[in-house]
Amino acid sequence: MASSAPLFYSCSPRILRHRITNSVNRNNPTSSSSNSCSSSSNSWYTNSSCHRGHKWNFIAFSGIKNTWKGQSLEARAMSTTEGNLSSPRIMINVEDKPDHLLVLVHGIMGSPSDWTYFEAELKRRLGKNFLIHASSCNKYTKTFTGIDGAGKRLADEVLEIVKKTESLIKISFLVHSLGGLIARYAVAVLYSPNVSSDKPDDLSATTSTNFKTHSSNNGLIAGLEAINFITLATPHLGVRGNKQLPFLLGVSFLEKLAAPMAPIFAGRTGSQLFLTDSEPNKPPLLLQMTSDCNDGKFISALGAFRCRILYANVSYDHMVGWRTSSIRRETELVKPPDRSLEGYKHIVNVMYCPPVLSESPHFPPEAARAKEAAQNEPSAENTIEYHDIMEEEMIRGLQRLAWIKVDVNFQSALWPFFAHNNIHVKNEWLHNAGTGVVAHVADTIKQQEKQQDSSPYIGAGL
pLDDT tens for each residue of the chain, 462 residues long: 443 344 544 443 333 333 333 333 333 433 333 333 333 333 323 333 455 443 333 233 223 223 222 333 233 333 333 344 433 344 445 567 999 999 999 999 999 999 999 999 999 999 999 999 999 999 999 999 999 999 999 999 999 999 999 999 999 999 999 999 999 999 999 999 976 544 433 333 333 334 445 544 579 999 999 999 999 999 999 987 555 555 454 555 555 556 656 666 778 898 999 898 989 899 999 999 999 998 899 999 999 999 999 999 999 998 899 999 999 999 999 988 889 999 999 999 999 999 998 888 999 999 998 898 888 876 667 778 888 999 999 999 999 999 999 999 999 999 999 999 999 999 999 999 999 999 999 999 998 888 776 554 433 333
CA dist 79 and 269 (Å) reads 31
| Contact present, 77 and 87 (Cβ < 8 Å) | yes
Q: List the Cα angle 413/419/422 in 5-degree steps.
A: 80
CA dist 230 and 351 (Å) reads 14
Write a three-state SS string for 163-175: HHCCCCCEEEEEE
DSSP state of 319: S
Q: Write the CB contacts of 51 (distance below 8 Å, at least 6 apart in sequence).
A: 45, 57, 351, 352, 353
The one-letter code for the residue type at 244 is Q
Q: How many CB atoms lie within 10 A of CB 66?
A: 17
Domains along the chain with CATH numbers: 49-452 (3.40.50.1820)
Give me the phi and psi of 155, to 5 degrees please. -60, -45
**H-type alpha helices, 65-210:** 116-126, 147-164, 178-190
CA dist 333 and 325 (Å) reads 12
Torsion over CA: 150, 155, 160, 162 (sign): positive
Find, among 451, 285, 461, 282, the residue nearest to 368 by Cα. Answer: 282
DSSP state of 346: T
pTM (predicted TM-score)? 0.77
| Contact present, 35 and 16 (Cβ < 8 Å) | yes
